[in-house]
Amino acid sequence: MLELLDISFAFAKAETLKNISLKLEQGTHAAVIGESGCGKSTLLDVIYGLLQSQKGSVKWEDEELLGADHHLVPGHPMMKYVPQEFDLMPFTTVFENVGEHLSIQIDDRTKRIEELLDVVDMSDFKERKVKTLSGGQKQRVAIAKALAQEPKLLLLDEPFSHIDNFRKNALRRRLFDYLTKNNISCLVATHDRDDVLSFCHNTIIMRKGEIVDYRATNKVYSKPKSLYTASLFDEVNDIPKEWLGKEHDLILYPHQLERATSGFDVEVKQSFYQGKDFLILGLKDGKEVFFKSNKAVEVGTTVTLNLVS
């Protein structure tokens, strides 16, 4: 189990992490999401020992990890980290990179490397020199290399940012299935809601160096505590309580509003094609309102909206 107790960190005089505390149970997958500069990558760097916190402690299985000021080589044997800068050997093959730290004495060494290359869909490239690979291919090799030593905790920083969209979903499924089967915990810093919703048990929301929410992913998404949290997943509406006769203002995603015979009126300003439907932008009293429609709506049309029944 990973545990952070009251962690604070500052670059120069700018505090980047403020009193961060959290627990990650073994086998749990958690996402860290938030706006750029909120401290996601810094948090992973402190956990792994690349940066030394000024306050608080990082514990792994009740053992305190002393951090960068106490170790020339960062990290813990049971942790592996895949940062946005890949630690690969450019002039050796994909196969050699993944097996870099695996002893040649291991009986199933070749089988293990090939299994991991299959997880990241790089089996066909095992004899290619890393320097000849694309950014996305290097990213997949870096993930396989991190898994080679059977860590108990995997730290990922924007792990699919360089990978083609058509490969992402299959790679996510393979990777998180492998982590689940091998009881490997994962902490992933990401901007991508698709990394979060289907694959992470819990979600940590960060803002300005602080954790502002940490709950089960479905609860963070379905019952956001703020507009900021909801906006990390989708367009979001702040609906005044008076518009629908409610006791409090509502935070709603576009799919939670539909055309109705009663409710509140908006004037349509734009329609955005999204494949299976359209995202419609309307205005009421100068406030933007987003809703979904199965077809485009003519600009200038007045539409009545209410909660999806």
Question: pLDDT 10s digit of each residue in the chain, 309 long?
Answer: 999 999 999 987 778 999 999 999 999 999 999 999 999 999 999 999 999 999 999 999 999 998 877 776 777 889 999 998 888 999 999 999 999 988 776 778 999 999 999 999 999 999 999 999 999 999 999 999 999 989 999 999 999 999 988 889 999 999 999 999 999 999 999 999 999 999 999 999 999 999 999 999 999 999 999 999 999 999 999 999 999 999 999 999 999 999 999 999 999 999 999 999 999 999 999 999 999 999 999 999 999 999 998
Clarify whether residues 54 and 144 are in a common domain.
yes
Clarify whether residues 191 and 244 are in a common domain.
no
- Gap between the Cα atoms of 178 and 186, Å rounded: 11
- Domain boundary residue, one of 226, 256, 281: 226
pLDDT of residue 105: 67
Clarify whether residues 213 and 239 are in a common domain.
no
**Claim: this prediction has a pTM higher than 0.75:** yes
Spatial neighbors of 297 by CB under 8 A, at least 6 apart, are 268, 271, 278, 280, 303
Instruction: Tell the burial category of 92 from Cβ atoms under 10 Å away from its Cβ (0-12, 13-18, 19+).
Output: middle
Q: Which one, of 208, 159, 164, lies nearest residue 188 by Cα?
A: 159
Clarify whether residues 208 and 243 are in a common domain.
no
Tokens matching residue 158: 């924007």
**Coarse DSSP helix, strand, coil percentages of the chain, rounded to the nearest 5 percent:** 25, 35, 40
- Domain boundary residue, one of 193, 226, 259: 226
**Residue 14 domain boundaries:** 2-226
Q: Virtual CA dihedral for 248, 215, 168, 114, nearest 10 degrees? A: -170
Clarify whether residues 77 and 139 are in a common domain.
yes
Spatial neighbors of 189 by CB under 8 A, at least 6 apart, are 31, 32, 33, 40, 41, 43, 44, 156, 157, 158
pLDDT of residue 204: 98
Clarify whether residues 9 and 149 are in a common domain.
yes
Q: Which one, of 228, 182, 179, lies nearest residue 201 by Cα?
A: 179
Clarify whether residues 131 and 263 are in a common domain.
no
Q: How far is CA 92 from CA 89, 119, 127, 147, 179, in A?
A: 6, 20, 9, 18, 27
- Compute the chain's Rg from CA coordinates: 23
Q: How far is CA 270 from CA 57, 134, 265, 282, in A?
A: 50, 37, 15, 7
- Domain boundary residue, one of 162, 193, 226: 226
Q: How many domains does the chain have?
A: 2
| Cβ–Cβ < 8 Å for 98, 73 | no
Clarify whether residues 246 and 211 are in a common domain.
no
Clarify whether residues 74 and 130 are in a common domain.
yes
| Cβ–Cβ < 8 Å for 289, 270 | no
pLDDT of residue 209: 97
Look up tokens 């909660």; give the residue. Answer: 307
Clarify whether residues 183 and 243 are in a common domain.
no
Domain CATH code at residue 207: 3.40.50.300
pLDDT of residue 66: 84
Tokens matching residue 296: 């485009």
Clarify whether residues 247 and 219 are in a common domain.
no
Query: Where is 290: in which H helix or E strand?
Result: strand 287-293
pLDDT of residue 16: 93
- Gap between the Cα atoms of 133 and 32, Å rounded: 28
Clarify whether residues 161 and 283 are in a common domain.
no
Q: Virtual CA dihedral for 104, 92, 81, 55, nearest 10 degrees? A: 110
pLDDT of residue 68: 78
